[in-house]
Amino acid sequence: MKRALLSVSNKEGLSEFAKGLIDLGYELISTGGTKRAIEEAGLPVLSISEITEFPEIMDGRVKTLHPSVHGGLLAKRSNEEHMRQLDELKIGTIDLVAVNLYPFKQTIAKPDVTEADAIENIDIGGPTMLRSAAKSFEDVAVVVDPEDYPEVVSSLKAGDLSFEARKKLAAKVFRHTANYDAMIAEYFADVTEEAYPETYTVTYEKVQSLRYGENPHQTAAFYKKANYDGASLANAEQLNGKELSYNNIQDANAALDVVLEFSKPAAVAVKHMNPCGVGTGETIFEAYGKAYAGDPVSIFGGIVALNREVDEQTAAKLKEIFLEIVIAPSYSKEALDILTKKKNLRVLKADMKKPESQTHKLTSVSGGMLVQDTDEGTLEDVELEVATERQPTEQELKDLELGWKVVKHVKSNAIVAAKSDQTVGVGAGQMNRVGAAKIAFEQAGDQAKGAIMASDAFFPMPDTVETAAEAGITAIIQPGGSKRDQDSIDACNKHGIAMVFTKMRHFKH
């Protein structure tokens, strides 16, 4: 008689699976709560202690770690010496294993979880059985996902749970245990405050396959981090429109990052991962109007993120132009009725909560990975220094703050021009700072007169200030710290421009 060992924390589909195996002539072996669930379904099952002839001890911490279990799993059926040893020791083979693990992920997601609770939910026997069974996939069928139960039973009934099928099940097991171990490693790196340990272990779970990557000849998929506690496209709800593409997700993430900088009503338009229009106001309608006015050309075909509920009036304005995506925390019924009339417009509902703890930014390089803290720096973290004779006005200070929040998210070299609570020009990703400034001021046109300028890094020469003065800029915010800061200060004083140093840089490569 073939034997199957079932030990699962997730009881979904268990009784149907157990019955299917019994109908196929399997003898069932089980543990604790799984055994009780099988018995409650009226099905015969042996306890693990009947196989090991050893009781479960230490509150169930030790029950399956026994030669009668692992010998039955690891013995190679084609190896005569292995089979002779099993016979000599009176150990029976185990032909199928179905195990899923203690809910460590769900446990550490609880806001009030204690370290003791987390440790108690680290499964030891489960991963060990899974690995033993997966290593012996040639002889042992191993199932870790309840969704695979029906197919496994169906294949066994047909007599064709093939070598390749067993190998795929085993591969799934090793991914599952690796994911489980990675979450434990991440948890302990966090509680022991080891930000950059000797090995950096991360794990992500698949959200969806994508039609293609940045270009049609590239394949791609979207993954999410387990238990991520902040705003994320991976946790957003899509209410309308086509499936998100790789580039959509990149751009939408950029828009979400920018809009999270603001506490008052704000709207952000993004194109190719750079903000092209940002506005704030007393209402979300006013904020969107300013974001649109910031660059009414580039916003076409872009992504718009808003940090307040979209009302009917705002939805009607959004509908007037072609947009790829609209992201907001919520939508009124009337707004949703308007937006969903555009069948291809992707309408996303997303949490606008910043993550409670600082996260890492991962950047792949050929054969390696760079890891750094995310750039959480704000003006609240610094003491501003007015370096010039002229002090900025109250409105200029408001605009300087807005410009600084936006320039942080613009690809370096980055220049942002802002005026009256909105951006009016953005220069992104240029090889020199003067070039970025010229692009921003050209886009701003006459709006540059009386506007402020934000720069993500210091001015190594006064030429950027001279360019700003020619455009009509009246106040500048920049990190400072150049050996030639005085040259830029002198140029500002000459033109009556106020300049503020932050002593904080916002490079974005």
| Residues annotated as part of the active site | 135, 272
Asked if residues 233 and 254 have their Cβ atoms less than 8 Å apart, the reply is: no
Asked if residues 427 and 295 have their Cβ atoms less than 8 Å apart, the reply is: no
CA distance 315 to 301: 16
Q: State residue 28 phi and psi, 5-degree precision.
A: -100, 140
Asked if residues 468 and 452 have their Cβ atoms less than 8 Å apart, the reply is: no
DSSP assignments along 165-223, one per residue: HHHHHHHHHHHHHHHHHHHHHHHHHHHTT-SS-SS----EEEEEEES-SSSTTS-EEEE
N- to C-terminal Cα separation, the chain: 63
Asked if residues 472 and 497 have their Cβ atoms less than 8 Å apart, the reply is: no
Query: Could you count the other beta carbons within 10 Å of the beta carbon of residue 135?
Result: 15
Asked if residues 307 and 266 have their Cβ atoms less than 8 Å apart, the reply is: yes
Residue with tokens 């417009």: 345
Q: Who's near 483: CB < 8 A, 6+ residues apart?
A: none
Q: Parallel, antiparallel, or unpaired: how do β-strands 452-455 and 475-478 relate?
A: parallel
Q: Who's near 251: CB < 8 A, 6+ residues apart?
A: 270, 271, 272, 273, 302, 303, 324, 325
Q: Helix 14-23 and helix 149-158: axis angle, to 10°?
A: 10
